[in-house]
Structure 1
């Protein structure tokens, strides 16, 4: 029988105890882990980068899902918040996007969502009651006034403020929202639990933000974007008291960091962030619904086909041979093919900048109106029908001024007329 010395046994017991202690300490660290804050918002209907330009390829719900999933695997206590303004401009396709966005948010599981003006544009009846919409300055509305969260050994209260000045309210109706005042802050304080940390999701003016800052009541205030230009992102909101962090516009970036951090970091959602597979079925279904919307529009628009004012580039070739050759060698001449390659040749939001006269009694589909496919003469110069009848009737549009109808924002972030114009110049 193998014998062990007393010192050898003592060493083994010591190692065992140290191992158990280490396991206990690691467990205790996980139980009391500091909350990790992730913040999104201001998607404004940009559910997925359009892919028109590599340098503008940022954002999207699928990349957001991957980033959030990674942080949740790295940190045991993630507090995910959304500043709203996620809905698109109202339209038939916009309604499809709205449904996709809210279904995606259910899978992303934010703790709180502040409804912004874009949500209000569709009306409260469209807000999914299974999502945690938050309005702390609302009057008699069915949304949470404060959301409490026990996380990382800390108790947090999330409050939300949307200034009434951002929303249309009929002057003859009682107000839905009240502006910040000492009495409003006192009312909130009376409802708050002692020993909690407080975070405010905010959409309003700098003066209103200062009122909340001067109260000294919030541990952090996060601001929804007031910026409409995704090519010049602004991530700070200036008040007389201090600079506050403002979410990037068009959903191109997220804020993230530990709750004790003075400043959260921005994570830009670039192509190196893969799409979150859990959202793939939603996007597949959305594409199918958009295609059905497109096809239903075809039946209606076919009746108007005989009224079209557009003739197509082939008609122009007879007199403008050199110009036609210049066009044929440009990217404009195969603009629709770029959509077909990525399966978006039925998406109305894409087609309007890749064909002639879409939704203006022009292009219907590649099968019905192939002569109006791609970006052609009439995109830049206007309808040529009157010009054909009488060459002295010049086309109505100044070509140079037409460029910015499509070469705008993240669709064409590098656009510069002085460098782009020579690529299509012709006589």
Structure 2
């Protein structure tokens, strides 16, 4: 069968989006549950496809074309598939984001204005090696009533194909064409030109990749870029807590964007804190790179200015001893990517100053940066973490995939009634629509 062109797939998605927006929340949730059940039933097929991808990626890893972090993100397992299915179910369990009344206002007697949530329409997504991203994005798009164009990385092509096939076969009750898979790199450039057909693009990848997308399309772009995250251990920190938090933030899963890349330590506690922290990291195989003051306390490789601005996505961590809270904030402002930062301190005033002084999407107090995640935030899942400010920020879940329409209910009302010398005044009073 001849492969459809990207233009045809987008046109089908447009038609499907109009129909999908009319489907009930219950219908959409039932379809999402069907996806979860299908994933549960087809573990062997998914893992076989993923094994092919991983084997090819590991060969390129040996040639230096891929990184270990990419291979780690690519790998699936039975337990991970169980987690993916559970994530899908959690999306189905979320409240229906559509049709909610944001505001209700009476303009005059029998003339009432309602602002209600609706789908964005057709969403295009271009994402990295993690096959679970395809499932997350598809489930969230379906729950929010959006048609979706999915473009995964070539390194996960076999995994993406089987997962897309499972999603499509599990949702035959939904409008045909609501989810589309494109694979060719040339298709990306074609998508970028479809500003009259695609309502939003959501790229997930490096800053350079996201910048390329933004610079080569007039479609609104919700960028998910790199995560250069920080943990700052304050002079008033509970050091045992700080060790546990900093360890979790790096070691629990180092290949993801919310893992910590730089540890900042106040000079007042550095000599006591760093030896124990370094021992924990070393036992876990973490390569440490430090500034001059941290290397006077613990033996490690020297850090460069490039390290402060690097997302390792691996068991590598840079450490910087700072002389004040203000210095920690300045370092993060200079080198961070506005993703997620955390302060460990028992001083609530200093925690507040830290959190209010930074422009990152997520700022934490006494918690691991790894909590910056749509599922952990109770959003069901996420299509990515936006480090920008418009229109969604941080983990982007269902709310970030909706917009709104104004509904006006009248009874033969005319603007002429409210114009001229005898103009009738508007009431403009809020309505309790709860």
Fold equivalence (TM over 0.5): no
* TM-score normalised by length of structure 1: 0.26
Task: Indicate the structure (1 or 2) with the bigger Cα radius of gyration.
Answer: 1
**TM-score normalised by structure 2 residue count:** 0.26
Q: Name which structure has the greater RCO, CA cutoff 8 Å, separation 6+.
A: 2
